[in-house]
C-alpha cells in the first residue's frame, strides 16, 4: 500500500529510533527530563521566545493556547476552514467556553481588513474579541501558504486592539522551506505558536507550544489539567530534537512529489479541479458524476490509500515514507484508473 492519507502516518527512521533509545530521561512533571528541557529551550530559541512546552498533540497545544488567551464568553476570530474550529471536537467551547467569529478567507487565509471588521466595539451586548488564530499552512485550504506581510498587518492590528495572535503552525515548516522566511520572523509576528513534530517532521508523537515565559507558565498548568503532564517522555523529545535538526530541509522533496501527483490528477478525466499545490497537500475536487466512496475504494484496490476531504473532494499528502518509486507507481495508477 502507498499511504497518502496523511503526513502523520510516517514511521520513525532508524537514526531517529537510535537517538530515542539513548536519550537521558527524568520526570518531566518535576521538570527533571533533560531531553525535554533541551527540546523546549531549542524551540524557544528558534523563534526568539522565552519558553516552549512539549505536548502530546497539536490539538492540545492549540487548545491550551486558546484556554490561556481567553476567558469564557470571549470571541476567537479564525477562518471557517481552520483546524481549531473544524477538527478539535468543539474544544474552543468545550474546554474554554469561548465563542467563535468565523472569517471567509481565501483557502483559509484572511486579511487584516477582515479581522478589523470582526473586532467588536466595547458594547455590553457583544462578546469581547480576545484572540485571532491563523493556520499556516492551511490544511483544509489545500496546504496553502500565507503572505507574511498580511500576517504582519494582522499582528499590528491585534496589538493596537489588545488582542492576542496565535499561529496554528502544525505545518509551519512546510511554509518556511518554500518562502525561506525565518523562524525568528514568525516569532516576531505571533504572540504564541504551535508546531507539530508528528506531521511532516516525521516524529511518532509531539507538538510544541511557544511563547513568553508567563504564557508558558500558565500553559504548563493547563496541560496538567488536560492530563498532558508526561513523565519520562524524553524519548519522544529526542525524536523532536532530531527532526528539527535533520527533517526540516527535506520537506522540499515532499513538495516536489506532491506537485508531480497534482499535475497528473489535474489531467484525470474523473477530476474536476485540483487546488494549486504549494506544499505537501493535494486536494482534488471530483467530477459531479463521480462517487467519492467508489473512487476511494477503487484507489485502495490498486494500492493507493487516500482520504475523503469533505463532499466530492479527496486529499493526498506526501511525506517522509513516500519514495520516488512510489510516486512513479502512484502516477501510473492514477493515469489508468478509469
Ligand atoms: C494535525 C493538525 C493539528 C494537530 O493535530 P493532532 O493530531 O492533534 O496533533 C493542528 N492543526 C492543524 C492545521 C493540523 O493539520
Q: Is 224 helix (H, G, I), strand (E, B) or coil?
A: helix
Report whether residue 59 contacts ligand 1, using a CB cutoff of 6 Å.
yes
Report the distance separating Cα 177 and Cα 60, nearest Å.
25
Residue 79 is classified by DSSP as: E
The answer as to whether 3 is a domain residue is no
CATH number at residue 71: 3.40.640.10
Report the distance separating Cα 161 and Cα 119, nearest Å.
8
Domain shared by 240 and 314, yes or no: no
pLDDT of residue 337: 87
- Residue whose CB lies within 8 A of the most ligand 1 atoms, among 139, 172, 228, 281, for a mutation test: 139
Domain shared by 216 and 286, yes or no: no
**Ligand 1 atom closest to the CA of 56, numbered from 1:** 9
The answer as to whether 299 is a domain residue is yes
CATH number at residue 279: 3.90.1150.10
Report the distance separating Cα 251 and Cα 180, nearest Å.
12
Structural domain containing residue 99: 10-246
Domain shared by 91 and 180, yes or no: yes
Boundary-marking domain end, from 179, 212, 246: 246
pLDDT of residue 100: 98
- Residue whose CB lies within 8 A of the most ligand 1 atoms, among 168, 203, 228, for a mutation test: 168
In 3D, which of 87, 54, 81, 19 has the Cα closest to residue 194?
54
pLDDT of residue 183: 98
- Residue whose CB lies within 8 A of the most ligand 1 atoms, among 174, 194, 196, for a mutation test: 196
Report the distance separating Cα 282 and Cα 141, nearest Å.
10
Domain shared by 225 and 322, yes or no: no
Between the CA of 309 and the centroid of ligand 1 the distance, in Å, is 15
Domain shared by 137 and 259, yes or no: no
The answer as to whether 281 is a domain residue is yes
Between the CA of 97 and the centroid of ligand 1 the distance, in Å, is 21
Residue nearest atom 6 of ligand 1, based on CA coordinates: 58
Number of domains in the chain: 2
Report whether residue 135 contacts ligand 1, using a CB cutoff of 6 Å.
yes
Domain shared by 223 and 310, yes or no: no
Q: Are 50 and 44 in contact (CB under 8 A)?
A: yes
Report the distance separating Cα 314 and Cα 243, nearest Å.
28
Spell out the residues 6+ positions from residue 332 whose beta carbon is closer than 8 angstroms to its own: none
CB-CB neighbours of 49 under 10 Å:
24
The answer as to whether 111 is a domain residue is yes
Report the distance separating Cα 195 and Cα 57, nearest Å.
9
Boundary-marking domain end, from 212, 246, 280: 246
Which value, to the nearest 10 degrees, does the dihedral of the CA atoms of residues 72, 195, 184, 119 take? -30
Domain shared by 77 and 225, yes or no: yes
Domain shared by 119 and 165, yes or no: yes
Report the distance separating Cα 54 and Cα 163, nearest Å.
25
Whole-structure pTM value? 0.97
Helix residue ranges per DSSP H, the chain: 14-21, 34-46, 58-69, 83-86, 91-96, 112-118, 148-161, 172-179, 183-189, 213-225, 234-246, 251-266, 292-301, 324-335
Give the pLDDT of the chain (338 residues) as one tens digit per residue. Answer: 999 999 999 999 999 999 999 999 999 999 999 999 999 999 999 999 999 999 999 999 999 999 999 999 999 999 999 999 999 999 999 999 999 999 999 999 999 999 999 999 999 999 999 999 999 999 999 999 999 999 999 999 999 999 999 999 999 999 999 999 999 999 999 999 999 999 999 999 999 999 999 999 999 999 999 999 999 999 999 999 999 999 999 999 999 999 999 999 999 999 999 999 999 999 999 999 999 999 999 999 999 999 999 999 999 999 999 999 999 999 999 999 87
The answer as to whether 113 is a domain residue is yes
pLDDT of residue 287: 96
The answer as to whether 194 is a domain residue is yes
Report whether residue 7 contacts ligand 1, using a CB cutoff of 6 Å.
no
pLDDT of residue 338: 74
- Cell for 25? 530521561
The answer as to whether 2 is a domain residue is no
Domain shared by 109 and 200, yes or no: yes
Domain shared by 183 and 326, yes or no: no
Report whether residue 111 contacts ligand 1, using a CB cutoff of 6 Å.
no
Between the CA of 83 and the centroid of ligand 1 the distance, in Å, is 7
Domain shared by 197 and 281, yes or no: no
Boundary-marking domain end, from 246, 275, 299: 246
Compute the radius of gyration of the chain from its Cα atoms.
20
Residue nearest atom 5 of ligand 1, based on CA coordinates: 58
Between the CA of 245 and the centroid of ligand 1 the distance, in Å, is 21
The answer as to whether 193 is a domain residue is yes
Domain shared by 164 and 85, yes or no: yes
Give the phi and the psi of residue 125 in degrees, each rounded to 5.
-75, -20
Amino acid at each position: 500500500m502507498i499511504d497518502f492519507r496523511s503526513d502523520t502516518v510516517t514511521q520513525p527512521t532508524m537514526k531517529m529510533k537510535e537517538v530515542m533509545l539513548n536519550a537521558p530521561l527524568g520526570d518531566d512533571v518535576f521538570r527533571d527530563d533533560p531531553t525535554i528541557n533541551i527540546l523546549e529551550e531549542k524551540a524557544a530559541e528558534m523563534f526568539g521566545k522565552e519558553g516552549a512546552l512539549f505536548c502530546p498533540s497539536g490539538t492540545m497545544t492549540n487548545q491550551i493556547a486558546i484556554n490561556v488567551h481567553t476567558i469564557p464568553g470571549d470571541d476567537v476570530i479564525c477562518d471557517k476552514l481552520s483546524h481549531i474550529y473544524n477538527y478539535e471536537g468543539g474544544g474552543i467551547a468545550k474546554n474554554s467556553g469561548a465563542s467563535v467569529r468565523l472569517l471567509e478567507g481565501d483557502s483559509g487565509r484572511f486579511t487584516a481588513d477582515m479581522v478589523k471588521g470582526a473586532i467588536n466595539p466595547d458594547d455590553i451586548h457583544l462578546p469581547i474579541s480576545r484572540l485571532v488564530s491563523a493556520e499556516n499552512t492551511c490544511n483544509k485550504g489545500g496546504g496553502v501558504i500565507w503572505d507574511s506581510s498580511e500576517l504582519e498587518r494582522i499582528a499590528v492590528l491585534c496589538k493596537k486592539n489588545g488582542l492576542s495572535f496565535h499561529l496554528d503552525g502544525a505545518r509551519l515548516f512546510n511554509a518556511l522551506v518554500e518562502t525561506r522566511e525565518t523562524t525568528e520572523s514568525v516569532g516576531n509576528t505571533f504572540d504564541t505558536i504551535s508546531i507539530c513534530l508528528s506531521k511532516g517532521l516525521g516524529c511518532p508523537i509531539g507538538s510544541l507550544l511557544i511563547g513568553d515565559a508567563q504564557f508558558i507558565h500558565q500553559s504548563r498548568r493547563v496541560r496538567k489539567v488536560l492530563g498532558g503532564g508526561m513523565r519520562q517522555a524524553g524519548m519522544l523529545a529526542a525524536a523532536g530534537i532530531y527532526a528539527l535538526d535533520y527533517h526540516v530541509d527535506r520537506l522540499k522533496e515532499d513538495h516536489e512529489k506532491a506537485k508531480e501527483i497534482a499535475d497528473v490528477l489535474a489531467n484525470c478525466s474523473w477530476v474536476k479541479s485540483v487546488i494549486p499545490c504549494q506544499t505537501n497537500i493535494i486536494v482534488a475536487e471530483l467530477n459531479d458524476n463521480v462517487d467519492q466512496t467508489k473512487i476511494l475504494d477503487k484507489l485502495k484496490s490498486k494500492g493507493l490509500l487516500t482520504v475523503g476531504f469533505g463532499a466530492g473532494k479527496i486529499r493526498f499528502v506526501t511525506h517522509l515514507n513516500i519514495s520516488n518509486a512510489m510516486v512513479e507507481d502512484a502516477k501510473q495508477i492514477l493515469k489508468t484508473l478509469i
